[in-house]
């Protein structure tokens, strides 16, 4: 309890857990590009690679929140660049649906960010990760309803 109070008193100590779902061809390569540039960014994002952003099942995102993530990033190829032509389009549709779902669940929509990162956009990857980390720090930890209390 006392620890929680301390955290509340000093929110800058909160280190959010963020899951980044990245497609293999563009955004994962963009993250690699940021690595090659050796450009440091906050260590809060954990990347999970899928072949296509179209594979990102809304269930994955909800599972991430359930298992302790404070935020989720969905990164895809730019429109027209999708390796599978239109997977990123499907991903945007599912993201819109997810936002509605989050609203119903009382979860801030900023906790689920969709963005485009191409294989060449290492800097953009760093920028998105940094912004997302700051956003989630500002929002604080995701408060989950405890089942045992209900």
> 56 vs 107, which CB is nearer to other proteins?
56
Question: Rule CB under 8 A: is residue 59 a binding residue for other proteins?
Answer: yes
Question: Rule CB under 8 A: is residue 14 a binding residue for other proteins?
Answer: no
User: Helix, strand or coil for residue 119?
Assistant: coil
Span of 3-11, 48-56, 102-110, 136-144 interacting with other proteins by CB under 8 A: 48-56
- Taking CB under 8 A as the criterion, the residue among 8, 11, 13, 67 binding other proteins is 67
- β-pair type (71-76, 112-116): parallel
> 70 vs 115, which CB is nearer to other proteins?
70
Instruction: Evaluate the CA torsion angle 43, 46, 52, 54 in order and state its sign.
Output: negative
> 1 vs 53, which CB is nearer to other proteins?
53
Phi and psi for 96 in degrees, rounded to 5?
-60, -40
Question: Rule CB under 8 A: is residue 35 a binding residue for other proteins?
Answer: yes
Burial classification of residue 72, based on how many CB atoms lie within 10 Å of its CB (0-12 exposed, 13-18 middle, 19 or more buried):
buried
């Amino acid at each position: 309890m006392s620890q929680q109070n301390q955290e509340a008193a000093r929110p800058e100590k909160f280190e959010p857990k963020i899951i980044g779902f990245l497609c293999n061809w563009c955004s994962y390569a963009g993250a690699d590009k940021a690595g090659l540039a050796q450009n440091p960014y906050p260590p809060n994002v954990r990347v999970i690679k899928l072949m296509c952003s179209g594979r990102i099942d809304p269930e994955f995102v909800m599972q991430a929140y359930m298992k302790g993530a404070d935020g989720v990033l969905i990164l895809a190829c730019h429109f027209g660049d999708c390796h599978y032509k239109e997977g990123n389009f499907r991903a945007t549709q599912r993201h819109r649906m997810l936002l509605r779902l989050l609203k119903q669940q009382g979860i801030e929509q900023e906790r689920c960010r969709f963005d485009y990162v191409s294989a060449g956009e290492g800097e953009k990857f760093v920028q998105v990760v940094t912004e997302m980390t700051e956003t989630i720090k500002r929002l604080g930890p995701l408060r989950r309803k405890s089942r045992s209390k209900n």
